[in-house]
Chain A
């Protein structure tokens, strides 16, 4: 399928985990970093969704984004709530919990439900972990830090921003592969699109952050819009490159009939 060189999954995984965690840990000092970290995780998860959804899930690509966020949110709440004495361990604990839940669901999907997808377990684990990082990252950029009881509950859960994180995050994760599905799907285009969807989510979080954090939220908003423009432009460049032809209007070429 792919004769062009692709970024290996392991590199993207490292990019997602390290980028995500660094972003989240910087968020108390600079809230925008949380959203940037989450974008790294979005790019990673889009690649993971791509690998597993290529096999055909039988229920459409969106289902995997939804289960990812379902697992991610449970793990994120658990990880952040559990570590009162050592708040620094929260995101890592959430990551580990998400991986465990993802591994268990992947194992069951593979061996009990018998889905016969060789990469199922690994991808489910990756997707769940990325889901947790996306949720924590975007929430932290809105709340200003990742303290669960102190700031996340009043600033993110209570006013319902978490739902936007949940759903727009899920769309950011599943949309790239859903949109690029096809026999000539290319990783590069997909990753640019993932960056673009992640940046849209970041801009939305920026709007929410303006309300919760004031001026520092506007940085998230502006940076999100700028990043989105960059990634969107890159995506269109790839489309112009890859599409058979780009025309204003006209008939379908005769060769197809």
Chain B
């Protein structure tokens, strides 16, 4: 267990180093826009980046350890940890990031519809009270995007091994997997219907009535 902690700490520090260089590098590469390099962002965010990364690394290595030592997966711990790391990166960037990009990252966007391309880059700098900065935006993102990412990864880790653990290495387990997939598809469909009703169609259309009746019959 100590090894997991030490390893996660080293990984987190290295991650922090990469974070500082990418911030400094990008700002320095855009010097023609005269944006200064803020040292307080460096001081304020780097420790929290390291801290969060430590949690992620620790949990992933713990999952890998359980799978390797207790469940007996054929790959070694680094291999499993790497794969889960790539997965959590993919899930995080497709789930947690979305709100960050779409909702408030300085973008001027109406509630209930997508970001108009024409408004892209129209930066909102003044918030309800004082200046709007990246820390305010991350707040809601972390409260909602983070747990949703966790749900995504948790579902993946759980359901990818649950059928074979219960039903053994047989076709029966595969059928259970297909059922899980079908349930997820139906859930997504229910969310889709609810959201479409909530925000409504944007365009008035001649065929709209007909289209709505078609939708209802299904």
- Residues of A with Cβ closer than 8 Å to B? 158-161, 163-164, 166-167, 171, 175-176, 178-186, 189, 193, 196-197, 200, 204, 207, 232, 235-236, 238-239, 242-253, 255-256
Contact = CB atoms under 8 A, between A and B. Distances in A.
A184 B31 contact: yes
A199 B172 CA distance: 50
Given A159-B78, A248-B39, A182 B24 contact: no
A178 B37 contact: no
The prevalent SS among residues of A at the interface is: helix
Contacts of B27: 239, 243-244
A13 B21 CA distance: 25
Given A163-B78, A184-B31, A239-B28, A200 B17 contact: yes
Given A159-B78, A160-B78, A200-B17, A179 B26 contact: yes
Contacts of A248: 38-40
Contacts of B75: 160
B78 A161 contact: yes
Give the one of B29, B30, B78 with max A CB within 10 A.
B29
B37 to A, nearest CB: 4
B36 A160 contact: no
Nearest to A241: B28
A139 to B, nearest CB: 14
Task: List 4 tightest A-B contacts by C-beta distance, closest first.
Answer: A182-B29, A160-B78, A179-B25, A160-B76
Contacts of B29: 180-186, 189, 242
A184 B30 contact: yes
B141 interface: no
Interface in B24-57: 24-40
B10 interface: yes
B185 interface: no
16 contacts: A160-B75, A160-B76, A160-B79, A160-B82, A163-B79, A182-B28, A184-B28, A186-B29, A196-B21, A239-B28, A243-B37, A244-B35, A246-B37, A247-B39, A253-B34, A253-B36
B28 A238 contact: yes
Contacts of B35: 244, 252, 256
Given A171-B18, A244-B36, A246-B36, A239 B78 contact: no
Interface of B: 10, 14, 17-18, 21-22, 24-40, 75-79, 82, 125, 131
B26 to A, nearest CB: 6
A178 B28 contact: no
A164 B10 CA distance: 13
B36 A175 contact: no
Contacts of A164: 78
Contact of A158 (B36, B76, B82): B76
B30 A182 contact: yes
B25 A180 contact: yes
Nearest to A161: B78
B105 to A, nearest CB: 16
A183 B32 CA distance: 8
A236 B79 contact: no
Nearest to B89: A62
B21 A244 contact: no
A204 B12 CA distance: 12
B93 to A, nearest CB: 11
Contacts of A161: 78
Contacts of B34: 244-245, 253, 255-256
Contacts of A249: 38-40
B31 A175 contact: no
B36 A245 contact: yes
B31 A247 contact: no
Contacts of A256: 33-35
B14 A200 contact: yes
Given A159-B78, A181-B29, A250 B36 contact: yes
Nearest to A228: B17
Contacts of B82: 160, 163, 166-167
Given A189-B29, A245-B37, 16 more contacts: A158-B76, A159-B76, A163-B82, A175-B22, A181-B29, A197-B18, A197-B21, A207-B10, A236-B24, A238-B28, A243-B31, A244-B33, A244-B35, A246-B37, A247-B39, A256-B35
